[in-house]
Structure 1
Amino acid sequence: MLANGSSTGTDPHERARYLASGLRNVRVFNDTVRPFWSDDGKLFSYCRRTPDGTDYLLVEAGTGRVAPLFDRKALAARIAALPVAPEAAEPVDVRLARDATAIEFRLDERLWRATRDGLVLTDLGPVAAPAENVAPDHSARLVIRDHNLWLVDHSGKRPLTSDGEAGNGYGGFLGFDYNLAEARCPPIALWSPDSSRIATLRTDLRQVPLAHLIEAIPPDGSRPRLHSFPYPVPGDEHGALSELWFIDRNGQRVPARMDRLVSFGANPLISYPAWWSDNGGHFYLHEGSRDGDRLDFWQVDTATGDTRRLVIEEGPAAGRPCFSPSPQPQVLRDGRILWSSMADGWRHLYFVEPGDPRSRRRITAGGWNVVSILHVDEDAETVLFAAAGREPRLDPYYLQVYSIRFDGTDLRRLTHQDLNHDLSLPSRALTQVPAGSGRYPNGTSPDGTFFVAAHEAPDRPPVSALYDRNGRVVTTLEHADAGAAWPADMPLPEPFHVQALDGETELWGVLYKPPGFDPEKSYPVIDVIYGGPQVFMAPKSFGQTTYARYAEGLAAAGFVTLLLDGPGTPGRSRDFWLHSHGRMESCGGLADHVTAIRSLAADRPWMDIAEGVGLTGFSGGGYATVRGMAVHPDFFTVGVSICGNHDVSLYIANWAEMFQGMDAGSRRGLASADVADRIAGKLFLVQGEMDDNVQPSQMLRLVDALVKADADFDMLIVPGAGHGVAFHPYALRRTVDYFLRHLAGRE
């Protein structure tokens, strides 16, 4: 529902700040329904937000009947009668307990359980701090102290490991994004379902070369401070070496009997799904090759440490499921593995036979992609799954829900709205149980009989409904209320599709128009680009993605902006995705962006591209901005490049090695410095001083080349800012001003 809309004033900076801040998401009521199911799948709870407050509701799945989740008055009276009355008046994050007889919630930074009539109240202990990893049953928490894991429970604190040391510790992050925040992050460990053990890594970083940052203005006002952290780049000999351990609450340890996992990127338990079996007897994990062309799927006996390789997947991009939409494998009772593969050019489901890791028996087929497995019914031999691209004339990224039999017959479409479907996906392979719940929401009931989905689009607020396994709508749960979120005088986003440079391939994206839009007027155009081969950027839902926030913010300042996913980005066929592999300088189809914008402007005279187009992006988009201005100088005439990874040979190793190639020669000529002398337009470089993802040295290499070319350019380094500097209020204001001055011709 869209009503009067929000008011953000007339100042372009204020308008840009509002939409770029993500506040629009917060002001949409009931855009998502996140179910918490009872174990028998007959009931679930969810939270309804309204302008007047929050309601917690209980749904009877078979009938769709909705009722209050608990007796508010009785619970309030019981809370007020506590020996020490809590400061907060209302419980938050309330959800149905698995046994359906009680609720769980947070109150005053403690976890509580109460019967639904509110008469019996149990204190479950404190909410986990940001640096703690809480057990599923809330009975214990993990922390890191001096590179070792410690257990905190009702009896106090005690070490689970004692041999950890600097550069060779337990449970730590090794991903480049987390180095400076490590002390504020929970240990990387996965609890067993019964909360008795953990799976974690001991990671040796001692031979990994270091990257460095200098913090010019530390918070305590002291002299500049050096920060150094492991950061492998392409061609480095040594990466992180990780041992997998299973540790019980008494510190008894079992090592996995396998070679150490080698990583040149993030922690292996984060890079790929890893999880415990339901009975805790086995642990499953993936191991990807350094070049990204092989993926092994392992089973580990958690009592003995014995390992078994269940699946071997080989071929172009086979080892990169974490960089494209792909389902988590499922191990069936008879040992068969429900696996996904792009071997035929599209991601489909197969059975892999136990003991034959290269065997494949096809289940799904066609020019479309399976994105996630929602439920496997082994007795009925059916799979419930989400897929994209199967329905003609629909945006090929839009998710629909289907079911199919194990033998590949009886494929049924269960959602029939020609829109995207947002689903709360199963999250077994996550590292931390959220504070206050002990579990994650799941859109699908435990027995697969029901599922909850919201149909929506960038210009259509979501409508959430409960479906049964035959696709019947049991009840409509919520119509999102976006009336207070979207600026009243600003048009809704416009999804579009155009032909690519080849004249055949359809490309899809979203246009954003400025406040007070008048089709009789004309507006300067900004292409908001990312171009990395691991993610598509144009949103498919009403909610704001990171790049949508940025594009909307710039549109609110008076521009037409767009997000477009060109060749070389994921979510389509393997051939479409591989377009950028080995040619990362194409930045997800820069030439296709030019063709698409010209095509759009031909049908939309209010898009003013006569004097050039603006180009901006951050991270990979910062690199794409410079490359676009150099390769298409007559088209992209004004650019704001933010924290760009301007030289992939000095960026985190797995980015270039997976997507460009292992040979050092393949990376020659890719650096922004190599094309600096070809830039003719107005260029503004923005960098966060403390960016541990893309260090300032990347930008300074480009600056050095621009200086040597005697080129004019503008530059901003924001002290203390990190990789998200694009949303820093000062950087955003300067970006808006730069485009207003040089693209719109306004001071």
Structure 2
Amino acid sequence: MMYSMVRKPLVLALFSLAFLQSKAQHAPLQPYAPSPAEVANSYQLSNKLDTTLRNIPTNNDITPFWKKDGTAFWYRKNLPNRTWEYYYVETASGKRQLAFDSEKLAKSLEETTGKKQNAVKLQFSELYFADGNTAKIKLQGKWYGVNLSNYSITDLTDTNIYQYNAKRPLQQKRSRWQRNRFVRKSPDGKYEATIRGGNLFVTDKATNTEIQLSTDGTEAKPYGDYVWVPDGKNIIAYKTDPKEIKKVHYVLSSVPGTTRGELKSREYAQPGDDFTSYQPYIFNITAKTAVKVDADPIDFFGPPELHWRNNDSRYYTYEKVDRGHQRFRVIEVDVQTGKTRNIIDEKTNTFIYESRIYTRYLPKTNEMLWTSEQDGWQHLYLVNTLTGKQAKITSGNWVVRDIDSVDVAKRQVWFKASGMNKDEDPYFIHYYRIGFDGKGLVNLTPEKGNHSLSFSPDRKYYIDTYSQVNVPPVSELRLTSNTRKVTELEHGTADTYLATGVKLPEVFVAKARDGVTDIWGVVCLPSKMEPNKTYPIIENIYAGPQDSFVPKNFLPASEMQSMAELGFIVVQIDGMGTANRSKAFHDVCWKNLADAGLPDRILWMKAMALKYPNADISRVGVYGTSAGGQNSTGALLFHPEFYKAAVSACGCHDNRIDKQWWNEQWMGYPVGPHYGEQSNITNAAKLQGNLFLIVGEADENVPPESTYRLADALIKANKDFDILSIPGMGHSDGGTYGRRRKRDFFVKHLLNAEPPNPNILVTK
């Protein structure tokens, strides 16, 4: 009896506890609604955590300084609290050791210079390890020699050191639109060219007689640029039809020492503006004849770089992109006749991303290397310049991202690519080499992650650093011939970061609007997220089609994480219309910048909210700068059912106002009704959510009037919005002040809380 009397209350208590726990688990989550004191505290903790995280070194990349013979290199390793130390590595053995005793070196430098030295912050403008146990250093403008056996220091007069930038590609890229150098003298030195009165003249240096080659040039339409044929017998000159580049203006309102605003003006071509055109002619010096090249004038970019056949002055090629970016040609010209033929003639119904095209001419073999998206993915081709026949070097559903170098002797291309490895993020960059025949593909970076690679001067060795957004970096020294790892240089850990309480970014993948394509993004969560609360979502947006933007390297500290600490779930996404995926993925942006991948982003966030139940899909904000400024305002205008608040800095709110070369690449030419139809200014009356505009009055990237015209349209539509114009600031998110105001705006409109008032002096 006694047992049952005791047992019954216990059973009831356990049942009640289980019931309450079950009810709590199934109870609806409550929105995070901080009090003013909690908000003020979260600002303090966010700033403190941000400072702490930024004082922890990531070593996401190391910069090696190589000895000339490639037998060794040194690098600087970052340590906590913005200190560092130096390491010396012997390549053959992989032996890694401290380059010197920092305490002893600092003491010797103090005795020599009479100035205090910090052993954990030794900073040299130059450092080189010479033969033997010696080093050369340059400190505060003076050179010293250091004996590393006893740390004695001597003044140096011999300051020659080997300079090699391991971060630069072996073969530097020139802009395809870079002009030939203006050389007056002919290659054989017999003639000298000049332009006078709009016409072309050459002077015979032997007889000092002048020959007038053109007569139809005028001051209004002169012959301008010219280039000599290699044998000096002909000269290519361009008759120009000049068009004035129109100007944009802004006023500096707050120049110190003045009482008036200062007007600034500059040339700035906008979509649809006229371009100067260039018609090429071939002038023969001896015959004094002129032949018009059988090709349309070059009306987009200037006179192009010319490429000559090997030891042949009869044929040259040049590249031409038609305005509107829908046709790319490599055109060969016969100097004797002016006749032309197309070696490459690529056309598309959407756009050709001309700044991603790679060309490399191989005149000795009458070949060229070329990248194209003609099969739906960016790949390498080998082109016979005599026949125009193309052979694929690379193929598959992945993207050639860039060319590092070309080994003509071995007939190999060294390149960067992404998307080849099916089990990882398709944006991760890996490095490869492959033969011109498409055989012998070698992956130089086999480990999973996003890679950055640099070579020794002789390319016998390379350093590979790789990481993921939530996986710390690893740096390895490898042998180029077989990719064998010689030694591990650095291996980061997340322990120090996690000890602060921060949550590392998480990767999330969801399907695009087509239900098939994967959309990749990252999620930053508050470190003190309460399991029974929901938090607004803020998207960091930049949908510029020129690239992809979601971070791929280790990222424990960022503005996104700092904002998350205030009580938000902050995300970044690469939607359709951005680059580095398939041509079809990219084509979504064509004449369609207002789309900004927003349908994909919305689906991604809805899917993300199913995985993260603390994400409040009913409270979504968005912020961005430049194209991101356009995108964030567009999110409110075109998707008000989803986005509720936006902060837009320096936005290109109307693509007719922004720079010509960028906007015509994606919106096309001529400028049609779609430009206006997609303008934020045209659609300003659709605003429903809360909008905060930021603009720098001295913005020379996107004219400030883009934002001011949007403000004007909003006012005329009787819409409420906030605007911040920052005196003297250029193209920016608003700097420290603008970023603080951005946070305050989201706290007010998404958390329905009052941010700390900086105008109130807090005393203790």
Look up the match of 1:452.
463
Aligned equivalent of 1:737: 744
The C-alpha deviation readout for 1:390-439, integer Å capped at 9, x for no partner, is: 1113110012233323321232334332222123xxxxxxxxxxxxxxxx
Residue 88 of structure 1: how far off its partner (Å) = 6.8
> Does the Cα contact within 8 Å between 1:318 and 1:342 map onto a contact in 2?
no
Q: Which secondary structure does the structure 2 equivalent of 1:393 belong to?
A: coil
How far off is 1:313 after superposition?
6.6
Tell me by how many angstroms 1:449 deviates.
Answer: 2.9
Q: Is the counterpart of residue 92 in structure 1 residue 124 in structure 2?
A: yes
Indicate whether 1:65 and 2:95 are aligned. yes
Query: 1:680 corresponds to which letter in structure 2?
Result: Q
- Write the letter of the residue equivalent to 1:659: W
Residues 484-493 or 524-533, more deviating: 484-493
CA positional deviation for 1:580: 0.3
Residue of structure 2 in register with 1:37 after alignment: 66
Alignment of 1:131-530 (within 5 A): 207-238=244-275, 289-294=322-327, 314-316=346-348, 320-322=353-355, 329=360, 336-353=367-384, 358-423=388-453, 443-469=454-480, 470-480=482-492, 488-530=500-542
Q: Contact 1:524/1:559 (CA < 8 Å) preserved in 2?
A: yes
Deviation at residue 669 of structure 1 after TM alignment? 1.1
Q: Name the counterpart of 1:121.
A: 156
2:164 corresponding residue in structure 1: none
Q: Deviations over 1:203-244 (max 9, x none)?
A: 999921111110110133442111111111111114699x9x
The one-letter code of the counterpart of 1:617 is G
Change (3 A) 1:379 1:235: closer
Measured in 2, the distance between the counterparts of 1:285 and 1:124 equals 44
Aligned match of 1:56: 86
Among candidates 579, 599, 602, match of residue 594 of structure 1: 602
The match for 2:75 is 46
Change (3 A) 1:261 1:487: farther
Q: Report how far residue 727 of structure 1 moved.
A: 4.9
Q: Measure, in 1, the Cα distance between the counterparts of 2:604 and 2:729.
A: 34
Deviations 1:98-145 (A, max 9, x none): 9999867552256788898876734769xxxxxxxxxxxxxxxxxxxx
Secondary structure class of the residue paired with 2:427: coil
Q: Is the 8 Å Cα contact of residues 235 and 653 (structure 1) preserved in structure 2?
A: yes
Partners of 2:651 and 2:476 in 1: how far apart? Answer: 41
Deviation string for 1:682-726 (max 9, x for gaps)? 1111111211112221111111111111111111112222211x2
Deviations 1:159-214 (A, max 9, x none): xxxx9xxxxxxxxxxxxxxxxxxxxxxxxxxxxxxxxxxxxxxx999921111110
Pair 1:379–1:208, CA change in 2 (3 A):
closer
User: Equivalent residue for 1:673?
Assistant: 681
The 8 Å contact of residues 332 and 378 in structure 1, kept in 2 or not, is answered as no
How high is the TM-score relative to the length of structure 1? 0.71
Structure 2 vs 1, CA of residues 575 and 98 (structure 1 numbering), >3 Å: closer, same or farther? farther
- The 2-side partners of 1:43 and 1:552 are apart by 39
TM-score with structure 2 length normalisation? 0.69
Contact 1:43 1:100 in 2 (8 A): no
Is the 1:13–1:736 contact (alpha carbons within 8 Å) kept by the matching residues of 2?
no
**Deviation string, structure 1 residues 356-412 (Cα, Å, up to 9, x no partner):** 6x5432211111112233454444444443321011131100122333233212323
The answer to which of 204-213 and 675-684 deviates more is 204-213
Q: Which residue of 1 aligns with 2:728?
A: 720
CA distance in 2, matches of 1:100, 1:529: 54
Residues 495-519 of structure 1: CA deviation (Å, up to 9, x unaligned)? 1111011111100011111131234
398-407 or 591-600: bigger deviation: 398-407
- Deviation sequence 1:260-294 (CA, Å, 0-9, x none): 99777xx999xx9x9xxxxxxxxx99875543345
Using CA pairs under 8 Å that are at least 6 residues apart, name the structure with larger relative contact order, 1 or 2. Answer: 1
Contact 1:335-1:354 at 8 Å conserved across structures:
yes
Distance 2:343 2:92 in 1: 38
Q: What is the identity, as a one-letter code, of the residue corresponding to 1:604?
A: Y
Distance 2:252 2:93 in 1: 60
Q: Secondary structure at the match of 1:372?
A: strand
Distance 2:569 2:416 in 1: 33
Alignment RMSD (CA, Å):
4.5
Question: Given residue 345 of structure 1, which amino acid in structure 2 is its aligned partner?
Answer: G
Match of 2:580 in 1: 571
Higher deviation after alignment, 735-744 or 409-418 = 409-418
Query: What is the rounded CA distance, in whole Å, between the counterparts of 1:628 and 1:476 in structure 2?
Result: 46
Partner of 1:166: none
Number of corresponding residues = 603
Change (3 A) 1:72 1:24: closer
The 3-state SS of whatever aligns with 1:609 is strand
The 2-side partners of 1:372 and 1:87 are apart by: 46
Structure 2's unaligned 5+ residue stretches are: 1-38, 161-194, 196-239, 281-292, 308-316, 333-339, 755-764
Deviation of 1:20 (Å) = 8.2
CA shift in 2, pair 1:116/1:583, >3 Å: farther
Cα distance, 1:68–1:522 mapped onto 2, change above 3 Å: same
Q: Is the 8 A contact 1:295 1:318 kept in 2?
A: no
Matched, 1:614 2:621: yes
**Deviations for 1:626-663, whole angstroms, at most 9, x for unmatched residues?**
11111111110111111111111011111221110112
How far has the Cα of 1:576 moved from its partner? 0.8
d(CA) in 1 for partners of 2:396, 2:470: 29
Aligned mates of 1:20, 1:673 — CA distance in 2: 37
Change (3 A) 1:385 1:93: farther
The corresponding residue for 2:658 is 651
Distance 2:93 2:341 in 1: 45
Q: Distance in 2 between matches of 1:380 and 1:465?
A: 26
8 Å contact 1:530–1:621 — kept in the other structure? Answer: yes
Contact 1:509 1:565 in 2 (8 A): yes
Shift of 1:68: 4.7
AA in 1 matched with 2:84: T
Tell me the equivalent position of 1:252. none
Answering whether residue 725 of structure 2 is matched by residue 693 of structure 1, we say: no
Distance 1:455 1:268 in 2: 41
Deviation at 1:297, TM superposition (A): 7.8
Aligned to 1:559: 568
Structure 1: 5+ residue runs without aligned partners?
Answer: 1-8, 126-162, 164-202, 244-256, 275-283, 300-307, 424-442
Distance change in 2, residues 1:498/1:337 (3 Å): same
- Mapped to 2, the partners of 1:416 and 1:285 lie a distance apart of 38
Secondary structure of the 2:664 match is helix
The DSSP-based 3-state class of the residue aligned with 2:644 is strand
Is the counterpart of residue 108 in structure 1 residue 140 in structure 2? yes
Superposition deviation, residue 335 in structure 1: 6.3
Instruction: Choose 1 or 2 for highest CA Rg.
Output: 2
